[in-house]
């Protein structure tokens, strides 16, 4: 995994990182509109909190966690400015110790930063805080994305393999991340998955 200070640098630079677009990704807006961001909700790798705040605005008891303290500071400021009740904590998604059990978990762009060994630790960490019958909504960088820039590309079979024990994948669909304009592209191809914890 990228060292913490690298993530901190991404959130303290003069320009926001490509994934921090200042609003939720459309895929998660659609989930919120369909009532899928509900109950006690965990946003793993929340960054500056747009998806946590989206869920809270739709009635979820939302908790965002990120390993970067500057990202969490940004998220807390946004929550205060918008008057949205959401909780933000500096925490490692590989070892979640929040003393809470969640009904829903979401992940916009975290899963793809882990190598194979860390991915297994991440899935185990999620499992420890998501109740049986709870849902995990994932969006990650796709192997369909051309070029060599950006994070590791994920194949559908890697998602299936990571969640083969104790989970049921309800669907995996093609989608896209919106990105800040940059030298490459304003969007990146993604996989979006809905996964049930059994």
Q: Which CATH number belongs to the domain containing residue 143 in this structure?
A: 3.40.50.150
Q: So what's the pLDDT on residue 183?
A: 55
Contacts of 170 (CB under 8 A, 6+ apart): 193, 194, 195, 196
Planar angle of CA 183, 184, 189, nearest 5 degrees: 155
160 within some domain: yes
52 within some domain: yes
62 within some domain: yes
159 within some domain: yes
Q: Measured between alpha carbons, how far is 194 from 82 in angstroms, rounded to an integer?
A: 29
Give me the number of domains the chain comprises: 1
| Residue carrying the six token digits 């994070």 | 151
Paired with 193 in beta bridges are: 138, 172
Summarize pLDDT for 119-177 with one digit per residue, the tens: 999 999 999 999 999 999 999 999 999 988 888 899 999 999 999 999 999 999 999 99
Rama region for 19: left / alpha / beta (φ>0; ψ in -120 to 50; rest): alpha
Q: Measured between alpha carbons, how far is 129 from 101 in angstroms, rounded to an integer?
A: 5
* Owning domain of residue 112: 4-11+21-187
As averages over each run of 10 residues, the pLDDT of the chain (198 residues) reads 75 92 97 98 98 98 98 98 97 93 98 95 97 98 91 95 97 96 79 98
3-class DSSP state of 172: strand
192 within some domain: no
Rounded alpha-carbon distances, angstroms, from residue 179 to 3, 153, 174, 188: 22, 16, 16, 7
16 within some domain: no
Q: So what's the pLDDT on residue 6?
A: 87
194 within some domain: no
Q: So what's the pLDDT on residue 182?
A: 64
Indicate the pTM of the whole model.
0.94
């Amino acid at each position: 995994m990228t060292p913490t200070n690298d993530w901190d640098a991404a959130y303290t630079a003069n320009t926001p990182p490509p994934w921090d677009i200042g609003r939720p990704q459309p895929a998660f807006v659609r989930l919120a509109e369909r009532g899928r961001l509900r109950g006690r909700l965990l946003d793993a790798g929340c960054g500056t909190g747009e998806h946590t705040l989206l869920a809270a605005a739709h009635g979820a008891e939302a908790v965002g966690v990120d390993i970067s303290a500057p990202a969490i500071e940004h998220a807390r400021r946004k929550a205060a400015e918008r008057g949205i009740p959401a909780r933000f904590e500096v925490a490692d998604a590989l070892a979640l110790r929040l003393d809470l059990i969640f009904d829903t978990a979401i992940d916009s762009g975290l899963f793809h930063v882990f190598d194979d060994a860390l991915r297994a630790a991440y899935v185990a960490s999620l499992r420890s805080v998501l109740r049986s019958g709870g849902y995990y909504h994932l969006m990650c960088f796709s192997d369909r994305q051309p070029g060599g820039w950006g994070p590791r590309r994920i194949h559908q079979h890697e998602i299936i393999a990571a969640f083969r024990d104790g989970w049921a994948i309800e669907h995996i669909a093609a989608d896209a991340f919106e990105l800040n304009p940059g030298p490459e592209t304003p969007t990146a191809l993604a996989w979006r998955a809905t996964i049930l914890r059994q």
